[in-house]
Amino acid sequence: MTRIAVTGAAGRMGKVLIEAIDEADDLTLGAAIVHPESSLIGADAGEMAGIGKNGVALAGNVGDVKDAFDILIDFTFPDLTLENLAFCSEHGKAVVIGTTGMTDAEKEQVRLAAEKTPVVFAPNMSVGINVMLDLLHKAASALGDDYDVEIIETHHRHKKDAPSGTALRLGEAVADALGRDLGECAVYGREGFTGERSRDEIGFETVRAGDVVGDHTVLFATMGERIEITHKASSRMTFAKGAIRAARWLQGKPAGLYDMQDVLSLKD
């Protein structure tokens, strides 16, 4: 039975991950980690997550549970994720990362750590979103430069990064198919007298409101028609299920940096 550790266990995503692991027949929760100053340390992780006692005491540091897990799932913050990743790469632990908001320099640290241990790193673990990425690449390749591209994303009021990591990844998929550099053609919001839209730009619009788990739409529009490809997540369980699928796939894999396209066999 593969043992999974969940960091950020007391957060919204952490609790759902614990629930998803509890529902899996081939995985078990080996460790659950919270903030080192949390008053929850020592409490039962299952009880905290609302699924009933499971005998796993909440820990305050990944090092405290080194021998209790095989794979770490991390949906926290860039600085903490990189700390945990460094520890896991030194101790032969595989890692599934769903953390968003990383800079290019931080992503490079992930790549370097993956030279020593297997890592699945994706801004969105949803199976549906990753199928959408495949569809977008095909759509953009077929539609070409005659269609304007706009990406609209909506998340709950608590989300700290914008645009979402998922929206940026969707933009990268389109830009790659069109032979563009997203760093050069992305436009983030518009205000004032902006002039006409250029043919090459890919626009991003960000909405933060209420408790929306995550909505993403990519709009292709030209004179006379438009195509919209949309994904809507109504529960964080969709991300947890994807992370569980990634953890299963990661078992026995050699060191390297993988993403959900690898997990789902969507790469050519």
Q: Is 155 considered catalytic here?
A: yes
> What letter does residue 259 receive in the DSSP assignment?
-
Q: According to the annotation, is 122 in a ligand binding site? A: yes
Q: According to the annotation, is 84 in a ligand binding site? A: no
Q: According to the annotation, is 35 in a ligand binding site? A: no
From the candidates 35, 93, 137, 155, give the one annotated as an active-site residue.
Answer: 155
Q: According to the annotation, is 103 in a ligand binding site? A: no
CA distances, 65 to each of 6, 31, 44, 151, 257 (Å): 11, 6, 14, 41, 24
- The CA dihedral of 202, 101, 157, 5, to the nearest 10 degrees, is 140
Among residues 43, 63, 50, the alpha carbon closest in space to that of 14 is found at 50
Q: According to the annotation, is 28 in a ligand binding site? A: no
Length of the chain equals: 268
Residues paired with 257 in a beta bridge: 119
Per the structure block, which two tokens stand in for 181? 């550099």
Q: How many CA atoms lie within 13 A of 247 on its CB side?
A: 31
Q: Which residue has the tokens 């801004």?
A: 123
Q: According to the annotation, is 99 in a ligand binding site? A: yes
Q: According to the annotation, is 240 in a ligand binding site? A: no
Q: According to the annotation, is 100 in a ligand binding site? A: yes
Q: According to the annotation, is 216 in a ligand binding site? A: no
Q: How far apart are CA 97 and CA 110, in angstroms?
A: 9
Q: How far apart are CA 215 and CA 166, in angstroms?
A: 10
Q: According to the annotation, is 123 in a ligand binding site? A: yes
From the candidates 66, 116, 159, 253, give the one annotated as an active-site residue.
Answer: 159
Q: How many CA atoms lie within 13 A of 259 on its CB side?
A: 17
Q: Is 91 considered catalytic here?
A: no
| Beta-carbon count within 10 A of 196 CB | 5
Q: According to the annotation, is 48 in a ligand binding site? A: no
Q: According to the annotation, is 13 in a ligand binding site? A: yes
Q: Give the residue ranges of the annotated binding site for NAD(+).
A: 8-13, 98-100, 122-125
Query: Residue positions in the annotated binding site?
Result: 8-13, 98-100, 122-125, 156, 165-166
Catalytic residues: 155, 159
Residues placed in the known binding site for (S)-2,3,4,5-tetrahydrodipicolinate: 156, 165-166
